[in-house]
Structures are given as C-alpha cells and as structure tokens.
Amino acid sequence: MDLSSVRLKSVSKEDVPEIVQMAEKIWWHHFPGILSDEQIRYMLAKMYSPEVMEAEIEGEQVDYRFILCREDKVGFCSFGPTEHLEEMKIHKLYVLPRFQRHGYGSGALHYIEEECRKSGCRTMTLAVNKHNSGAIHAYRRKGFVMEESVTVDIGGGFIMDDYIMRKKLA
C-alpha cells in the first residue's frame, strides 16, 4: 500500500459522535467471539461515552485522530504519553470493517510512530486482548514485542485480559 494515501486528521469534541458510531460498527464486527456481548456493551459505554471522550480530548493527554484515505474516514486512533519518560501509548487503533486488510492500520501505525519520534519518544506501547490473534500478529510484524501479561478489573464484573506490547524506536 502507498502510505502517501493514508493520513491522520485531528478529532475535535464536535467529532465525538462520529467516533462513537465508528466504534460501535467496528466492535460489533470484530469482538464477538473474543468478548461476550455484555462486555462489548459495557466497554463501549465506558470507553466511548461522549463525556469520557470529550474529557480525554480536552485534557490533551490523549490525541484522537481520524484515519483518512484521501478524504474518506476509514477508522480512528488515539495515543498519548505515559508516565514513563520518552514513551507513547497507542490507546486505540481501529479500522472500519470494509477497509480492513488494506494497509490502513499499518499506515496509521507509521504516522503514529512518526509523531512519537517528533515528540522525542523512544518507545511505543499498547495493550491488546490475548485472544485478538490477528492484531497480535499485525503488531509483531510491525516490530512490537510482548513484554507482559496483565489482567485488569474494569468494573461491572468484567476484566481486560491483555498483553502489553512495546516497540523500541531507533
């Protein structure tokens, strides 16, 4: 894929409803079989409520971006600094179902990595569900390595059962 056709565009508070709609489509397409329907509903409500997203955007600790191919919005991502000096965390990286497997996620990763380098980061990190084998494989191909296994209680009787993956930037 030609990375020049993929760009990232900043998201504002006014764009939050569109991100919420995209998340609903992506999660209900991708996560059944990995998470229960109840957990998908819970996590969407918890992570993608307009109040939570607007607070993240206003707090400027999480940078939301649309993933664009030409002018089409094909997905979204978010990233921000961690408590560790020179480290950036990818919080979200999602591509709409009809655009998956066309290199848009890889293109977005490339641009996030460039943003990390510009801000002086030497490491990128992310959490990925242990049963999300496609994403784990894709991140490995892009140079991420598994560093630890974590189980986090997120309330409502649910947990996130993830691998923490990191990539050292040259």
Q: What pTM was estimated for this model as a whole? A: 0.91
**Please, what are the domains in the chain?**
3-168 (3.40.630.30)
What number is the average pLDDT over the span 114-138? Answer: 93
Query: What's the 3-state SS for the chain?
Result: CCHHHEEEEECCHHHHHHHHHHHHHHHHHHCECCECHHHHHHHHHHHCCHHHHHHHHHHCCCEEEEEEECCEEEEEEEEEECCCCCEEEEEEEEECHHHCCCCHHHHHHHHHHHHHHHCCCCEEEEEEECCCHHHHHHHHHCCCEEEEEEEEEEECCEEEEEEEEEEECC
What number is the average pLDDT over the span 91-112? Answer: 91
Query: Given this model, what pLDDT does residue 85 score?
Result: 84
Digit-coded pLDDT (tens) for 145-167? 999 999 999 999 999 999 999 99
Of the listed ranges 48-52, 64-68, 123-127, the least confidently predicted one is: 48-52
